[in-house]
Amino acid sequence: MASHACGHARGHDAAHAVHPRRWSMDVTDPLLGGPPSPSSSSKARVLTPLGLACMAFMCVCAGPYGIEDAVGAAGALPVLVACLLLPVVWGLPQAMITAELSTMMDENGGYVLWVRRGLGNFWGWMSSYNSVGSNLCDLPLYAVLLSEYVGAYVRRTFHYDLSSSELWSIKAFALLFIGALNVRGVSSVSAVSFLITLIIVLPFLIEPVMPDVHLDAHEWTTTTPTINWSLFVSTMLWNFQGWDGLGCVAGEVKDGKRTYPLGVLFALVVITFAYTLPVMVGVCVIPDLSAWQSGLLETIASKISPWLGVWVVIGAALSNVGEFNVVMCNSARALWAMAQRKMVPPVLGWEWQRYDTPVAAIAFQFVTTGVLMTFGFSELVVLDTFFNNVSLLLESASFITLRYTEPDSDRPFRVPGGLIGAWCCTLPKFAIIMFGLGTAGTQAWLYCGVANVVFALLYVLRNRLVAVDDPSNIMDSAKSVASSTSRPSEDEVPETVEAGMQIAREDSTHHPHVALAAVAVDSPILAARSLTTESDPRAPLTGRQPVSSSV
């Protein structure tokens, strides 16, 4: 799961030349009404179809690393069938729903906004906190896989087993690097994702044509004597999840109507081949299914050719670095959106203005990832998938609900086929999610069930601390969205214009810069707004004057 990176600082500077300070959450626009959303309107829109595709590849797949556990749990045949079916019945619906909702609500925050708007604040809260739980389990997975792949390579090449402290050092270095890169911003993450995608994919495209590889279709039909359904299903769903994370950067996507469909379609094709080819080649090189566990793809590549083995090890390291990078980028923006809505402590919404990045949310994830890196892959992936399935269930319900409650809302990209098309995307997801929850195992149900009870209690506590009429409670409601985007009617415009001109004329001697701005842009409404808000004479002449933030 991954993303973006370099020119964001330049876009940030340009944006803030127009918007010197941000709106606070509890100040309303005197003319348009409604609480201004802490949207990403001031952020540079830098993500193109290629950038989003690389981000999607890293977000969802980042190479086939981790697929070995699924082969060991079920065999080659179930995994290959899943690799062909899941992109259509699981990946594509997620991608299309993400594209529609992200262009409908094109600001950073993604699923935090979607479920609140579609199902209300309580279910938005539950979905957001399950996503936080999923992300907290997800981020350490990449550090764990990275250390396992490096350990496997050192063991095979140098006949030396890395100690626990050495493995921990690898994880810690990766965490420090990812934290620093995320602070640099979305453009940097995207650029790094592009380079890593090339390095990851190329060796697996080369493997089938190597002279020492002899493909045998019989090996593709093998299954294990007993299928570990919990590990198999959790691992396969985990390997195709993460599409909804793309909505977290919607406020930084350029031309979402075109970028989202093209980006996710290209990524889906690459992801399908990235999983299928290594398994088809791998079971022909090492047919013993009991040997299939994390780190085996490096061994397979080394058997084919030593230089391929080195390349795959480098790709594995970079894969986990890249996916680690993008997941942190997306989830930090989700935490930022939650902080703006007072769903988490407001301090997590603090941004570093130099790079326009949510550094407080990044720091929080840095600490929690460091703690959870002590757990193993199998434990984390089951909990991660359970939390994610709950969140996806609510996101899908929100998507279909919005088709009924807001049929005429602007959707630059819309899942084709009307309501039938929407249901065709949603029903397979519901079925797979319920199957995944049903096979999660007793331990996952216990831990995640207790966690969801705690989430619900936290919601009750939050509502006792935050006033009912607080603007954060209606920020994503359809009514709030409608009021914040409404404009005076044709009958009201002359009166509003005349009122603005009269105010400008009366106060031109005291505020000559406002009168000049009104004439320059032919906007008496701008002049009226500027004169009815607290202005800063040193600020650039814009319609939105600086206000103080109370959050």
The CATH number linked to 374 is 1.20.1740.10
In a shared domain, residues 505 and 549: yes
Within-domain flag for 206 = yes
**Calpha distance 458→307 (Å, rounded):** 53
Residue range 358-371, pLDDT digits in tens? 889 999 988 888 88
271 close to 64: Cβ distance less than 8 angstroms: no
Residues 437 and 536 in one domain: no
Which of 180-189, 330-339, 370-379 is least confident? 370-379
Task: Check: CB of residue 376 under 8 Å from CB of residue 294.
Answer: no
526: number of CA atoms within 13 Å, CB side? 15
Are 368 and 510 part of one and the same domain? no
377 and 254 both lie in a single domain: yes
pLDDT one-digit tens code per residue, 302-358: 899 989 988 988 888 888 788 888 888 888 888 888 998 889 888 898 888 777 788
Pairwise CA distance, residues 93 & 265, whole Å? 11
Kindly state whether residue 350 falls inside one of the protein's structural domains: yes
Please check whether residues 350 and 314 belong to one and the same domain.
yes
pLDDT at 404 over 90: yes
**CA gyration radius, the chain:** 25
**476: amino acid identity, one letter:** D
Q: Mean of the pLDDT values across residues 48-73?
A: 87
Average pLDDT, the chain: 76
Contact 76, 283 (CB under 8 A): yes
Q: Let me know: does 256 contact 49? Beta carbons within 8 Å.
A: no
Record the tokens describing residue 8, joined without a space.
């964001």
SS3 readout for 511-548 = CHHHHHHHHHHCCHHHHHHHHCCCCCCCCCCCCCCCCC
H-assigned helices in 87-239: 92-104, 111-119, 121-158, 164-184, 186-206, 229-239
For residue 486, being part of any structural domain is answered with no
Of the candidates 90, 127, 110, 136, the one whose C-alpha atom is nearest the C-alpha of residue 40 is 110
Model confidence at 153, pLDDT cuts 50, 70, 90, reads confident
The pLDDT of residue 479 is 53
CA 99/CA 510 separation, integer angstroms: 49
Which tens digits make up the pLDDT trace of 105-130? 888 888 888 899 999 999 999 999 99
Distance between CA atoms of residues 143 and 67, nearest Å: 16
294/368 same-domain check: yes
The better pLDDT of the pair 503, 54 is held by 54
Q: Are residues 510 and 381 in the same domain?
A: no
Same domain? For 210 and 328 the reply is: yes
Residue 35 CA to its chain's centroid (Å):
25
pLDDT value of residue 88: 82
Residues present in the chain in total? 551
CA dihedral 531, 535, 540, 542 (to 10 degrees): -40
Which pLDDT score is estimated for 14? 33
CA 49 to CA 251: how far, in whole Å?
14
Percent of the chain with pLDDT over 70: 77
Count of CB atoms situated within 10 Å of the CB of 522: 7
Tell me, what's the pLDDT at 457?
Answer: 95
Q: What is d(CA 472, CA 465) in angstroms, rounded to the nearest whole number?
A: 13
480 in a domain, yes or no?
Answer: no
Contact 293/377 with Cβ under 8 angstroms? no
* Predicted confidence (pLDDT) at residue 286 exceeds the cutoff of 60: yes
Q: What are phi and psi of 210, to 5 degrees?
A: -70, 140
Average pLDDT over residues 240-261: 79
Cα–Cα distance, 160 to 529 (Å, whole number): 71
Q: What is the pTM of this model?
A: 0.66
Q: Are 190 and 51 in contact (CB under 8 A)?
A: yes
Shared domain check, 460 and 500: no
Q: Report the alpha-carbon distance of residue 28 to residue 26 in Å, rounded.
A: 7
Q: Are residues 433 and 509 in the same domain?
A: no
Res 544: pLDDT: 35
Residue 13: HSE in the Cβ half-sphere, 13 Å Cα cutoff: 4
- On whether both 151 and 246 belong to a single domain, the answer is yes
- Axis-axis angle for helices 229-239, 377-405 (nearest 10): 60
Number of domains present in the structure of the chain:
2
- Which range of residues forms the domain containing residue 188? 8-21+49-407+421-464
Complete DSSP assignment for 177-193 = HHHHHHHH-HHHHHHHH
The residue with greater pLDDT, 24 or 152, is 152
- Residue 414 counted as domain residue: no
According to the model, what pLDDT value does residue 354 have?
Answer: 78
Q: Is the pLDDT of residue 185 over 80?
A: no
Regarding whether 93 and 166 lie in a shared domain, the answer is yes
In a domain, 44, yes or no: no
78 in a structural domain: yes
- The tokens describing 165, both together, are 């402290």
Cα dihedral 10→14→20→25 (10° resolution): -80
Q: How confident is the model at residue 21 (pLDDT cuts 50, 70, 90)?
A: very low
Whether 43 maps to a domain, the answer reads no
